[in-house]
Amino acid sequence: MSEFGTLESRVRRKSLLSKVMKPEDCIKFFQPGQDLLWSGFTPAGYPKVVPIALAEHVEKNNLQGQWKFNLFIGASVGAETEDRWATLDMIDRRWPYQTGKNIAAGINAGRIRMGDKHLGHFAQDAGYGFYTGNGRYDIGIVEVSAITEDCGLALTTSCGIIAEALHLCDKIIIEVNTGQPSFEGMHDIHMQQKPPHRAPFLITAADSRIGTPYVPCDPDRIVAIVESKLRDKGRAFAEQDDTSEAIAGHIMEFFSHEIKAGRLPENLLPLQSGVGSIANAVIGGLAKGPFRNLSVYTEVLQDTMLDFFDGGNLLCASSCSLSLSETPGFPRFFENWERYFDKITLRPLSISNAPEPIRRLGCIAMNTPVEIDMYAHANSTLVGGTRMINGLGGSGDFLRNGYLKIMHTPSSRPSKTDPTGISCVVPHCSHIDHTEHDLDCVVTEQGLADLRGLCPRDRALKIIEKCAHPDYKPILTDYYQMALKDTLAKGIGHEPQLWDRAFKMHLNLAQNGTMKIKNWDVKLDLCE
């Protein structure tokens, strides 16, 4: 028995208790090539004991590369599941976002076929049955806190895409997690109709509720109930540092300016913050700021959101996931359960990332790119234009539809071969996920460039001046002036680029380990 109750107390539809089995007993339901739908979103709320049992089976029986599956999950899940599956060559296709060194290596080596998609679009498209040959999924594996008398599923630390696509699963395996408190009541599940019958989302504030706490489930499709006591592994975050503090400071100064100009209320507008250490650190900086009575409408709640709550600055938060760290995030959350529980609403992914409420609420979107170019295109996914990191995530859902759209990044990133590091401001992004039309501000520790109302040439000057690292400002300025002179002379200078040189910084990095080119002349070698 767990300190948080028994399996029998959590499964209130008693007829399902006849289907209780051990994780290893579920292996009989699986065959290579199946399409699998999992719960979970940015290591939270994902199934654990059944995927681990499958991995053990493959490893014990030397089935690596023979038992391969197609995984469809709301976003990344714990490394002990999907990343271990990657080491055992158990993944053929993976949509639409992942985390882990081994799964990323498999994708970039061509062993795993990954598709990248705006997460809000992926959720609804998965529910439409777009990703499998027959529009269905062979098995759905879902972690829940409880099952009601009428077979409603109370999920755990995330919603993911279960509300959208569970009805398309031929078989369903339920992991009931008794190793943590029940999250029953935190979720707001709204079941949508397909177009042309879809109704509006009547969300007028971050804490609006429009549904019920449960995902409906057909009990006849449930083939197994499995108890789990494993908690989410979560994600580790880097500590706040001078760079993230400076970025947060520039953003707070900008917000204060917008309040004085009458473009923001004193309690701002609902905040959205993306995934990762930089976003987490920036929110930590904002939590120390002067703004009060704030709200959050986002897709992930990371560790420093708890600082916001504890400081009394944050009234409520809507999200798809509690993307806390294994330590200290989740322990801190559970120790202060009563303080946080009623202030948080977890929503299905297609609602947390839907354009309609994002636009209606006027969300302030803040996300981190791999790189940004001098015209404000942003790359969120591919290093060097080819190496996948994690995926697009939900940044585009918010950047396209927010009231203010902000990208924040260090001006340079550490490199083994260059003391300054790699410039995050370049002439042209090696891959573009977000266009210049979707960004209002670019922020680095150097400063904030407000790009609203600026033509491309003025944007370039502002981004170089305010955001580029001092070591790279003269290099970028030289390129811009050369491109400007050449294109204006030809009457093609609206957005000056020299395509024979636009990626010379990237090429120099690949060949010589530094972006600090010595000459932009195309006739000269990279470092001459």
Residue pair 159/41 in contact (Cβ under 8 Å)? The answer is yes
Among the listed residues 61, 9, 2, the one whose alpha carbon sits nearest the alpha carbon of residue 30: 61
Work out the end-to-end distance of the chain between its first and last CA atoms, rounded to an integer number of angstroms: 70
Q: How far apart are CA 383 and CA 394, in angstroms?
A: 18
Among the listed residues 187, 130, 128, 97, the one whose alpha carbon sits nearest the alpha carbon of residue 433: 97
Q: How far apart are CA 388 and CA 415, in angstroms?
A: 18
- Tell me how crowded residue 507 is: count the other CB atoms within 10 A of its CB: 15
Q: Which strands sit side by side in the sheet containing 371-373, from one edge to the other?
A: 378-379, 371-373, 425-426
Residue pair 198/192 in contact (Cβ under 8 Å)? The answer is yes
Supply the residues annotated as catalytic: 299
Q: What three-state secondary structure class fits 434?
A: strand
The owner of tokens 């000056």 is 496
Give me the torsion for CA of 76, 90, 94, 238, rounded to 10°: 30
Note the helical H segments in 395-495: 395-401, 456-467, 473-489
- Residues listed for the chain: 528
User: DSSP letter string over 9-56?
Assistant: HHB-SGGGGGGB--GGGGGGG--TT-EEEE--SSSSS---HHHHHHHH
Vertex 505: Cα angle to 113 and 502 (nearest 5): 85
Q: Which residues pair with 175 in a beta bridge?
A: 143, 226
Query: What is the maximum alpha-carbon separation in the chain?
Result: 79
Q: How far apart are CA 118 and CA 108, in angstroms?
A: 20
User: Which residues contact residue 275 at a Cβ distance below 8 angstroms, ignoring those fewer than 6 apart?
Assistant: 42, 299, 300, 302, 323, 390, 393
Residue pair 207/318 in contact (Cβ under 8 Å)? The answer is yes
